[in-house]
Amino acid sequence: MTTKVINTGAVGLKKKKGFFRTLGSQYQLMIMSVPMLLYVLLFNYAPMWGWVIAFQEYKPELGLLNSKWVGWDNFKFLFSKQDFLLSIRNTFAMSLINLVFGTVAAILLAILLNEVRNKAFKRTVQTVTYLPHFLSMVIVVGMAQNIFASNGAANDLLVGLGLVKEPVFFLGKGEYFWWLVGAINVWKEVGWGTIIYIAAMTSIDPSLYEAAAIDGAGRFQRILHVTLPGIKSTFMVLLIMNIGHLMEAGFEIQYLMRNGMVQKYSDTIDIMSLLYSFGARPQYGRGVAAGMFKSIVGIILLFGANKIAKVMDEETLI
Amino acid sequence: MKKILAVLLALAMVLALVPAVMAEGAPELITVTVFKGDPGDQPTEDNKIYKLIEEKLGIKFEFEFLAGNLDETLGIKMSDRDNLPDLFDGSNSAEMLEDGGVLIDLLPYISEEKTPNLYKHIYTDDRIKQLLSEDGKLYIIPNYGINYNQEIKDYNGPAFHIQKKVIAWNNYQVPKTVDEYFALIEKYIAENPTTEDGTPYTGFAILCEGWRHFCLINPVQHLIGRPNDGEVVVDINDPGYHTETFIDKPYAKPYYKKLNEAYKKGLISRDTFAMNYDQYIAALSNGTVIGMFDQGWDFGDATNSLNAAKKYENTYLALPLLYDADDLEGIALPSADWKVEEHYVNGSVMNKDRGAGISISCKYPERMVELYETLLSDEWQKILQWGIEGEDYYVENGRMLMTKEQYENRSNSDWQRANTANAIWTSLPKKQGTMDDGNAWSPDQQPEIRNEFRSDYDKDFLAKSGKTDWIQFFGPVTPLAPYGEAWEINKGPIQDDVDAFLRIQDEQLPGIIMAADDAEFDAKWDAFVKEVAPYGEIYGKFMNEEILKLVALVEGK
């Protein structure tokens, strides 16, 4: 909603004032944004000089200026390696799983909480579900490894219910890895994800619900026709942002859960980048090249999603 | 009155002198940062040995221990070249430090006049020839493996291990081959499926995590009669030192076939392949794992906690297993005249490239070399290894001995933190073997102490086995090959191929062991060999070249 308000304002101003007049009239805002601008320049733009390492056979003792230039060799190496190509697939697969299930779970839980009338119950559930967000991934993965072991709780449950005959080897089969990561992420982040949707739902005008109720809409119809359209703009903005982050499948969880058997499914671009950069014989150039590839794809995805949203006449981010 | 005054005056003068003398005695106090490439415990603030070092040598240590992955941690530390730790111990990846150029060359600092102890340490027997790196420099003085007088052998290396109580249960008959070994485990579990408290036993555990995957990938070389050469076997009778990787050869298949059978019988749990090191140590410490292939030092923590809990019967006996003759029928070995004879224990190896080097950002390299030199003196070595006379040991008829309490203190980690300088001692050059007066340099190797302070269980176990020490379960010590042990060779130039070689094994060997039937096993094995062999080819060829270079160096050609 806010985006639109500022846009109309800007359009109104444009007719009379030029860019600099606008700038001058908003100088308080400009001063306030200077620290953030500096922060971004210093920590997000300045380190990009390091990208030149991607085109070097970088040796720390020689430094950026004296290391050997190798052109596109590092990229050629990466894209000739099956391990790296698989890591691109893994990164996308796990991000998509996280995105789809994370969002769906968060919206579902938010709707349920929104429908609960008992304040105490609602607050308790909300707190309990978002507490795992604050747990360290090391602890979460440790718990998951116990739960999903052959003699762990998950297998006891499945076997006990008669769903499977033999315990499932969750931790040793590559095919399960993505879904385990997805499940753990949903468990850890679902409560946190609901906060923004619940906020969006509270801003829906209560008279809409009343009107719908008078028109004879039941609870499910009210959810379908009032609540969901009410959070659509929030959903779209979050979706665009998340698509920009599709290359970020997480790092800790895969790194902690991986083992030799599942490496073809577990290793994301970040893990490959780490292995190349700080392995037995450090190849920083390859690590940086992998990271650079990731960033560039991320930017393309973000602009792409934004463009599509624009075409579809939805809320846009940029 | 005058007298009293004179006395007081004299006293005042003496007192005034004391600080001056002390100031002269101890050099300026410096704080030295030390990075250890292994996890460890911080010493206590008032640790008595560090206090002594601080008093006498004016050096205070600040330790940082490894927490996480070694290679990655080293990589990150090395990238900040102006703030390297002063003493840098890269543990099993110290080659990274040498290749990365973060250590100084020690040679210019070492001479017969200025550092007689160090000079004797590394120049005796032409040791220096083996210690120099390819560029002719000396970055690290080995932390272990240089013996004085008589070498006392204590085997802590690769072997098949089995809980002592299983051997006792078997009337002290030890298995000699892999077949006998797994048969014994199977028989034991069939009769004793669970521990006293009802936890089911695991027959055989295989640790596969990170660089410790040698438990999974290394055993075959020993089964055909070679000591630890890492991932290759070397034919030492061949003048050309024929070298090949063994995991992709037909003689590796029978071992994994046996593991597959053990798996199908339920002796191996599939969770072992997803286990990390902590979980492994926890399982061993519980006494629920009957056996495993590993190196004694790799599960020292488990042994310590079993001993501390007085579960001596659950501690492990190391055994030198071989293939049965009929395992290898019709299978070509590395050479036509190859003999499968037990060869687990090598003569001592200098732990080349292991220990602490001095970093290029260290401000006091001379002081550090002086520290190495001083601590290598007989006087300090006694303090570092035995402790303080009267407190940590006593001397009777010239023999250094310990009371029960003194001895037990040594394996108590809380006591260690306050009373030993192990954190620094383990990284520095040290004297091993025996002192000039015949006492052992290490209390753990002093025969009187070994015998006196074994648990009654162990004494009884050895007596019933007809042995006096654990090493006697192994064959005679074989002289070390001229190139040392091949795992020490730096594989930097072919690292990409080595990485691929190891990655394929990490990924596929568990699946091969878990194969459901013979057809699946064969199919998986063939696919594995096909995939891994090209890298094995490169690896074997490279190692052969490096071994020949080392042999030429040692033999002075």
- Mean pLDDT calculated for residue range B353-368: 94
How many secondary structure helices (H) and strands (E) does chain A include? 18, 2
CA–CA separation, B235 and A215 (whole Å): 91
Task: Residue B81: list chain A partners with CB under 8 A.
Answer: 60-61
pLDDT band with cut points at 50, 70 and 90 for residue B145: confident
SS3 (DSSP) at B87: strand
Contacts of B495 in chain A (CB under 8 A): 279-281
Distance of alpha carbon B426 from alpha carbon B100, whole angstroms: 23
Share of chain B above pLDDT 90, in %: 71
Q: Centre a 10 Å sphere on the Cβ of residue B177 and count the other Cβ atoms it contains.
A: 17
Give the pLDDT mean for A240-267.
Answer: 89
Instruction: Report yes or no: B433 at the A interface, CB cutoff 8 Å.
Output: no
Interface contact flag, B503 A83, Cβ < 8 Å = yes
Task: Identify the pLDDT of residue A281.
Answer: 78
Most A CBs within 10 A among B73, B74, B273, hence the mutation to make, goes to B273
Cα torsion for A44, A45, A51, A52, to the nearest 10°?
-150
The C-alpha atoms of residue B205 and residue B283 are separated, in whole angstroms, by 9
Can you read off the two tokens belonging to residue B60?
């205070």
- Asked whether the predicted pLDDT for residue A297 surpasses 60, the reply is yes
Q: Tell me how long chain A is.
A: 318
Chain segment B159-204, per-residue pLDDT in tens: 999 999 999 999 999 999 999 999 999 999 999 999 888 889 999 9
Q: What is the nearest CA distance from A158 to chain B, expressed in angstroms?
A: 17
Which DSSP string corresponds to A146-200? Answer: HHTSTTSHHHHHHHHTTS-SS---GGG-HHHHHHHHHHHHHHHHHHHHHHHHHHH
Chain A contact for B93, CB < 8 A? yes
Query: pLDDT (tens digit, 9 = 90+) per residue, B400-456?
Result: 999 989 998 988 888 999 999 999 999 999 999 899 998 999 998 888 888 888 889
Token pair belonging to B499: 């990485």
Nearest to B298 by CA among B312, B281, B315, B320: B281
Q: Please report how the helices A82-115 and A174-202 are oriented relative to each other, as an axis angle in degrees rounded to 10.
A: 40
> Using 50, 70 and 90 to split pLDDT, how confident is the model at A5?
very low
| Tens of pLDDT, residues A135-181 | 999 999 999 999 999 889 999 999 999 998 889 999 999 999 999 99
A252 Cβ contact list (under 8 Å, min separation 6): A137, A138, A141
Across the interface, do A172 and B495 touch by the CB < 8 Å criterion? no
Q: Is the pLDDT of residue A1 over 50?
A: no
**Which residue in A60, A150, A284 is closest to B270 by CB distance?**
A150
- For B297, counting Cβ atoms within 10 Å of its Cβ (0-12 exposed, 13-18 middle, 19+ buried), the class is exposed
pLDDT recorded at residue A250:
84
* Residues of A at the B interface, defined by Cβ within 8 angstroms: 59-61, 83, 145, 149-151, 169, 171-172, 259-261, 263-264, 274, 277-282, 284
Search chain B and give the residue with CA nearest A274: B72
Interface check for B278 against chain A (CB to CB < 8 A): the answer is: no
Per the CB < 8 A criterion, the answer to whether B8 and B63 are in contact is no
Whether the per-residue pLDDT at B100 is higher than 60: the answer is yes
Nearest-neighbour CA in chain B from A59: distance (Å): 8
CB B255 within 8 Å of CB B512? no
Q: Which of A151, A171, A277 sits opposite B274 (nearest CB)?
A: A171
Q: Do B273 and A172 touch (CB under 8 A)?
A: yes
Lowest mean pLDDT among A80-84, B153-157, B172-176: B153-157
Q: Look up residue A126 and give its amino acid.
A: Q
| Mutation site, B103, B264, B494, B496, interface A, largest A CB count within 10 A | B496
Amino acid identity of residue B58, one-letter, is: G
**CA distances from residue A194 to A32, A97, A109, A317, B255 in whole angstroms, order as listed:** 30, 17, 7, 20, 54
What mean pLDDT do residues B302-318 have? 93
- Helix count (H) and strand count (E) of chain B? 22, 14
C-alpha distance from B271 to closest chain A C-alpha (Å): 7
State residue A80's pLDDT score.
Answer: 92
Q: How far is B76 from chain A (nearest CA, A)?
A: 7
- How many whole angstroms separate alpha carbon B76 and alpha carbon A72? 25
- Out of B93, B510, B514, the one facing A280 most closely (by C-beta) is B93
Question: What is the total residue count of chain B?
Answer: 557
Among B270, B490, B491, B506, the residue to mutate for chain A (most A Cβ within 10 A): B270
**Alpha-carbon distance A152 to nearest alpha carbon in chain B (angstroms):** 11
Question: Cβ(B142)–Cβ(B376) under 8 Å?
Answer: no
- pLDDT at residue B24 greater than cutoff 70: no
Say whether B100 and A260 touch across the interface (CB within 8 A). Answer: no
Q: What is the CATH number of domain B25-149+350-451?
A: 3.40.190.10
Q: Which DSSP string do the residues of A104-137 spell out, in sequence order?
A: HHHHHHHHHHHH---HHHHHHHHHHHHGGGGS-H
The whole-number average pLDDT for the span B132-136 is 85
Nearest C-alpha of chain B: how many angstroms from A189?
25
Q: Do B208 and A171 touch (CB under 8 A)?
A: no
Checking DSSP bridges between strand B316-319 and strand B158-163, what pairing results, if any? antiparallel
pLDDT above 70: residue A190: yes
The predicted structure's pLDDT at residue B6: 61
Q: Tell me the C-alpha distance between B340 and A221, whole Å.
A: 80
- Cβ–Cβ contact B210 with A under 8 A: no
Q: What is the ipTM of this complex?
A: 0.79
Distance CA A284, CA B72 (A): 12
Would an 8 Å CB–CB cutoff place B335 in contact with chain A? no
Query: Residue B24, Cβ neighbours under 10 Å: how many?
Result: 8
Residue B60, φ and ψ in degrees, nearest 5: -115, 135
d(CA B117, CA B372): 9
Q: Do A259 and B78 touch (CB under 8 A)?
A: no
Question: How large is the average pLDDT for residues B133-142?
Answer: 90
Give the least confident one: B200-209, B317-326, B371-380, B477-486: B477-486
Q: Give the mean model confidence (pLDDT) for residues B345-351.
A: 82
Out of A261, A281, A284, whose CB is closest to B510? A261
Per the prediction, chain B carries an average pLDDT of: 90
- Does the predicted model carry a pTM greater than 0.80? no
Disruptive mutation site among B70, B499, B508, B532 for chain A (greatest number of A CBs within 10 Å): B499
Chain B: closest CA distance from residue A45 (Å)? 20
| Mean pLDDT confidence for B117-142 | 89
Cβ atoms within 10 Å, residue B455: 13
Q: What is the mean pLDDT of residues B108-132?
A: 90
- What is residue B10's predicted lDDT score, i.e. its pLDDT? 57
For B:435-494, CB contacts with A below 8 A are: 491-492
pLDDT (0 to 100) of residue A236: 86
Mean pLDDT is lowest, of A183-192, A278-287, B38-47, B518-527, for A278-287
Select the residue of B209, B492, B510 nearest A172 (Cβ to Cβ): B510
Task: Determine how β-strand B289-295 pairs with β-strand B243-245.
Answer: unpaired
Comparing alpha-carbon positions, the chain A residue that sits nearest to B74 is: A278
Contacts of A90 (CB under 8 A, 6+ apart): A178, A249, A254, A265, A266, A267, A268
Phi-psi region of B511 (alpha: psi -120 to 50; beta: other; left: phi over 0): alpha
Give the chain A residue nearest B504 (alpha carbons).
A260
How many CB pairs below 8 Å do chains A and B form together? 84
Position B556 confidence tier, pLDDT thresholds 50, 70, 90: low
pLDDT band at B502 (very low <50, low <70, confident <90, very high): very high
Burial of A71 (0-12, 13-18, 19+ CB in 10 A): exposed
CB-based burial of residue B480 (10 Å sphere; 0-12 exposed, 13-18 middle, 19+ buried)? middle
Distance from CA of A174 to the nearest CA of B (A): 10
Question: Which residue, chain included where needed, has tokens 């291990």?
Answer: B161
User: Of A278-292, A293-307, B230-244, which has the strongest mean pLDDT?
Assistant: B230-244
* B76 shares contact with chain A (CB less than 8 Å): yes
Q: Contact A282/B76, CB-based, under 8 Å? A: no
Contacts of B71 in chain A (CB under 8 A): 278-280
Of A60, A83, A280, the CB nearest to B79: A60
Average pLDDT of the residues in B463-482: 87
Residue reference for tokens 């349920």: A112
Q: What pLDDT does residue B26 have? A: 58
Task: List Cβ<8 Å contacts ≥24 apart for B460-463.
Answer: B461/B164, B461/B167, B461/B168, B461/B172
The dihedral formed by the CA atoms of B520, B524, B527 and B532, expressed in degrees to the nearest 10: -170
- Alpha-carbon span A298 to A195, nearest angstrom: 26
What is the per-residue pLDDT across A34-81, written as a single tens digit (0 to 9) for each? 999 999 999 989 888 889 999 998 887 777 888 889 999 999 999 998
Query: What residue spans in chain B does CATH classification 3.40.190.10 cover?
Result: 25-149+350-451, 158-344+455-554
CB contact under 8 A, A281 and B274: no
Interface probe with A: pick from B70, B77, B79, B505, most Cβ of A within 10 Å: B79
Nearest to B53 by CA among B94, B91, B92, B87: B87
C-beta atoms of A264 and B274 within 8 A: no
> Which pLDDT tens digit goes with each residue over B541-554?
999 999 999 888 77
Q: Which CATH fold would you assign to the domain A73-311? A: MetI-like fold (1.10.3720)
Q: What span, in angstroms and rounded, lies between the C-alpha atoms of B88 and B78?
A: 10
Q: What is the pLDDT of residue A6?
A: 45
The tens digit of pLDDT for each residue in B51-82 reads 999 999 999 999 999 988 888 889 889 988 99
Q: Does position B310 have pLDDT exceeding 70, yes or no?
A: yes
Q: What CATH number is given for B158-344+455-554 in this structure?
A: 3.40.190.10
